[in-house]
Amino acid sequence: MMRRLKQSIASKLTPTVAMLLSFNAHAFDLHQLSEQLAKPSVIHGSFIQEKHLRSLPQPLTSKGNFVLAKDFGLLWLLNTPLKQDYRISAAGIARRDADGSWQVIPGKTAGAQQNRLFLAVLQGDSSGLERDFELRVSGDALAWHLTLVPRSLMLQQVFTQINIDGGALVEQIELLETQGDRTLLKMIDSTSAQPLSDSERADFAR
């Protein structure tokens, strides 16, 4: 009697255990997300950035285009409300002057930290992000959500949380600041099918 009972329980548990093991084996994790985002060599797209300030009824909106190249960095080309080009790479952050030359700008400003964060996120650099944030990922390869919670005291003074959503590529980044302000960055029409142009390659090389 006892033996038959054990066999009955085992027969019911086995499919359940197998199902759980199968689920865990296919769960979408941070490593898989990093690999997915790191695959494209070049990504072109447009962006809309909304800065929601507590003191203003409407957000401050800026628009432009971006070029992300795995081996070079990020070109952030602002079109409105003013025209200004930035280049973010491992070497630092530079701004294009009126004569077309690139000038390095200080790397310890809040804006510089934010740009480096964008570069790490878009490139799928989870190792770099993990130094400064606790990372939590949910969803699957086609629709995922990544939450970044600051670890260091310095970042905790600026951000409460950062939310990132995407599919094959990053689609949206939301930065929640400790003072109650919020920045929403929407990546639009992103594609990895277009190689670097000669002018883009020259911008990265200067």
Q: 164-206, pLDDT tens digit by residue?
A: 999 999 999 999 999 999 999 999 999 999 999 999 999 998 7
Q: Is residue 144 part of a domain?
A: yes
Report residue 114's pLDDT band, with 50, 70 and 90 as the boundaries: low
Indicate if the pLDDT at residue 21 is higher than 60. Answer: no
The pair of structure tokens assigned to 134 is 């606790």
Q: Is residue 22 part of a domain?
A: no
Say what the pLDDT of residue 97 is. Answer: 93
Say what the pLDDT of residue 41 is. Answer: 92
Q: Is residue 125 part of a domain?
A: yes
Q: Is residue 146 part of a domain?
A: yes
Say what the pLDDT of residue 108 is. Answer: 59
Residue with tokens 């949206």: 172
More confident residue, 132 or 59: 59
Q: Say how many domains are in the chain.
A: 1
Q: Is residue 35 part of a domain?
A: yes
Q: Is residue 149 part of a domain?
A: yes
Q: Provide the CATH number for the domain around residue 52.
A: 2.50.20.10
Asked if residue 44 lies in contact with residue 194, where contact means CB atoms within 8 angstroms, the answer is yes
Report residue 28's pLDDT band, with 50, 70 and 90 as the boundaries: confident
Q: Is residue 126 part of a domain?
A: yes
Task: Tell me what the mean pLDDT of segment 72-101 comes to.
Answer: 91
17-31 burial string, b = 16+ CB within 10 Å, else e? eeeeeeeeeeebebe
Report residue 20's pLDDT band, with 50, 70 and 90 as the boundaries: very low
Q: Is residue 177 part of a domain?
A: yes
**Mean pLDDT of the chain, nearest integer:** 83
Indicate if the pLDDT at residue 12 is higher than 70. Answer: no
Domain that holds residue 165: 29-205
